[in-house]
């Protein structure tokens, strides 16, 4: 990649200009003690380096975003008039044409017959690309040098290099902290736009209250089930069922191990069990998914057979149980923290009244820690709802509306993943449905998190 050489060259130049500015600052002191300078020489160096590197790097970034579009527009405009108009009026034709020109330029296979006009376009595309790259090199490097030299001429004994550098650093930090907000905005925008397009094709109430989900769109009009059905209730029900199973597994085990760890266990036991739970928390979800499909699902199937029950090989039970296992460390570590935060004086008071340890836990510590535990469970629920890989690998694909944990159900995340994996054209209701589901998922988990965080925070303030 040519651009990376340019970036490396610019970074080197920036490094050099730091020492260049520094040396100049030292020479400005004219052999006297450096105290005659307003700022330390390193600040002068940093000032020159920033002027040298920042504008040029920004230019490269901007160029990389804008350049393809400009070159494309120019190339399309040079095509014979009839094709250019066709291309501009229809975005799909435009895209196809561009891909063909690009493929022709790089010597790949092309979808249409190569005619002279297309060949000419490809040639000029390559030419413009080359010109633009050379121009970028020239402009960026000379910009770096000119800006750096200019900044260097501004240095003087009284020059306030420190103030300026600190201001730039502060701005950089502020921008970095805005990324969190930008990410949220980006998520919301990308989900909402596609969701609006989805509701153009599928009515809102059908999606939220429909009982049938079969997103396969037919290729031809006369095919069976040609319209597809986008009722999301079976998905919500499936998600709810699997989450419920996961909670039934995770809450008692997580809570009891937290109780034991914080109230009974000695330091040796803690030093063994805590890392074990941490390992359990660090196992990637794809591993849990494989574990569910390889070990747990066949186990349940076999156990069901020996009891005379018909257990599906993609049963909600297997996916839910494994998801519960994944969540155990999450609940146990959060509740452990909460119970440790309960002041010792409450325990001492209870013991003084003659309560046993378990009575103290049940009647004093748990009630005191309850808000925190509820918060932990809510966070765990939100995690279970959003978990993808376990259910993709262990739960089913068909949307059954059932409450029987032995049957296969599907979840919101499974559908998002299956709808969007592989190449998709971006205007069918099928792909857009994934974004609508994503929005539902985002909103639900966001609400759960907000509530949970608020509950936890409120509780913490009580004992601080």
Is residue 294 a contact point for other proteins (CB under 8 A)? yes
Rounded to an integer, what distance in angstroms lies between the CA atom of residue 403 and that of residue 401? 7
Number of amino acids touching other proteins (CB under 8 A):
92
Pick the binder of other proteins from 176, 219, 224, 307 (CB under 8 A).
176
Is residue 35 a contact point for other proteins (CB under 8 A)? no
SS3 230: strand
Identify which range of 7-15, 122-130, 180-188, 344-352 contacts other proteins by CB under 8 A. 180-188
Residue 192 CB neighbours (<10 A): 14
Identify which range of 10-18, 30-38, 105-113, 378-386 contacts other proteins by CB under 8 A. 378-386
Give me the least distance between CB of 291 and other proteins, in Å please: 5
Q: What is the DSSP letter of 395?
A: S
Is residue 358 a contact point for other proteins (CB under 8 A)? yes
Q: Indicate the residue among 278 and 348 with the shorter CB distance to other proteins.
A: 278
Rounded to an integer, what distance in angstroms lies between the CA atom of residue 300 and that of residue 405? 11
SS3 150: helix
Rounded to an integer, what distance in angstroms lies between the CA atom of residue 378 and that of residue 104? 55
Give me the least distance between CB of 251 and other proteins, in Å please: 10
Identify which range of 47-55, 126-134, 213-221, 292-300 contacts other proteins by CB under 8 A. 292-300
Pick the binder of other proteins from 417, 428, 451, 460 (CB under 8 A).
417
Is residue 196 a contact point for other proteins (CB under 8 A)? no
Pull the structure tokens for residue 152: 């260097």
Residue 132 CB neighbours (<10 A): 16
161 bridge partner residues: none
- Contact between 218 and 224 under an 8 Å Cβ cutoff? The reply is yes
Q: Which residues inside 69-98 make contact with other proteins, applying CB under 8 A?
A: none
Q: Alpha carbon 118 to chain centroid distance?
A: 40
Identify which range of 177-185, 226-234, 340-348, 364-372 contacts other proteins by CB under 8 A. 177-185
Identify which range of 14-22, 170-178, 199-207, 340-348 contacts other proteins by CB under 8 A. 170-178
Pick the binder of other proteins from 35, 81, 109, 174 (CB under 8 A).
174
Residue 402 CB neighbours (<10 A): 15
CA-to-CA separations, 92 to 89, 108, 338, 369, in angstroms, rounded: 9, 20, 56, 59
Q: Indicate the residue among 209 and 362 with the shorter CB distance to other proteins.
A: 362
Mask of contacts with other proteins, 229-268, x by CB under 8 A? -----------------------xxxxxx-xxx-xx----
Written as one string, the DSSP assignment of 5-44 is HHHHHHHHHHHHHHHHHHHHHHHHTTTS-GGGSSS-HHHH
């Amino acid at each position: 990649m040519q651009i990376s050489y340019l970036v490396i060259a610019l970074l080197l130049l920036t490094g050099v200009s730091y020492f260049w500015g520094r040396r100049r600052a030292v020479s400005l002191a004219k052999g006297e003690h450096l105290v005659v300078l307003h700022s330390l020489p390193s600040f002068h160096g940093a000032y020159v380096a920033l002027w040298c590197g920042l504008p040029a790097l920004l230019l490269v970034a901007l160029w990389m975003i804008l350049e393809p579009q400009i070159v494309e527009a120019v190339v399309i405009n040079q095509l014979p008039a009839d094709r250019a108009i066709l291309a501009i009026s229809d975005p799909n034709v435009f895209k196809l044409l561009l891909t063909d020109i690009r493929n022709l330029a790089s010597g790949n296979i092309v979808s249409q017959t190569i005619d002279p006009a297309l060949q000419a376009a490809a040639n000029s595309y390559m030419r413009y690309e080359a010109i633009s790259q050379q121009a970028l090199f020239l402009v960026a490097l000379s910009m770096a040098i000119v800006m750096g030299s200019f900044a260097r001429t501004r240095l003087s004994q009284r020059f306030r290099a420190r103030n300026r550098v600190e201001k730039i650093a502060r701005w950089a930090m502020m921008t970095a902290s805005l990324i969190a907000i930008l990410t949220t905005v980006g998520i919301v925008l990308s989900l909402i736009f596609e969701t609006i397009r989805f509701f153009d094709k599928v009515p809102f109430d059908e999606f939220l209250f429909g009982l049938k989900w079969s997103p396969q769109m037919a290729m031809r009009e006369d095919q069976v089930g040609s319209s597809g059905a986008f009722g999301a209730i079976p998905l919500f029900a499936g998600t709810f069922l699997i989450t419920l199973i996961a909670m039934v597994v995770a809450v008692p085990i997580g809570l009891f191990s937290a109780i034991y760890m914080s109230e009974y266990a000695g330091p040796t036991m803690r030093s063994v069990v805590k890392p074990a739970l941490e390992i359990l928390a660090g196992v990637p979800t794809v591993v849990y998914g494989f574990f569910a499909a390889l070990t747990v699902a066949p186990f349940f199937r076999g156990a069901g057979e020996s009891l005379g029950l018909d257990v599906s090989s993609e049963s909600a039970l297997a996916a839910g149980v494994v998801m519960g296992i994944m969540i155990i460390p999450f609940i146990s570590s959060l509740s452990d923290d909460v119970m440790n935060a309960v002041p010792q004086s409450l325990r001492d008071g209870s013991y003084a009244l003659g309560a046993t340890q378990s009575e103290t836990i049940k009647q004093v510590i748990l009630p005191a820690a309850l808000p925190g535990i509820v918060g932990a469970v809510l966070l765990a629920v939100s995690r279970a709802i959003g978990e993808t890989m376990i259910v993709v690998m262990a739960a089913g694909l068909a949307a059954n509306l059932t409450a029987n944990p032995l049957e296969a159900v599907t979840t919101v995340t499974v559908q998002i993943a299956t709808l969007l994996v592989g190449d998709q054209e971006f205007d069918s209701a099928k792909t857009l449905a994934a974004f609508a589901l994503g929005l539902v998922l985002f909103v639900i988990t966001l609400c759960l998190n907000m509530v949970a965080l608020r509950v936890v925070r409120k509780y913490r303030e009580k004992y601080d």
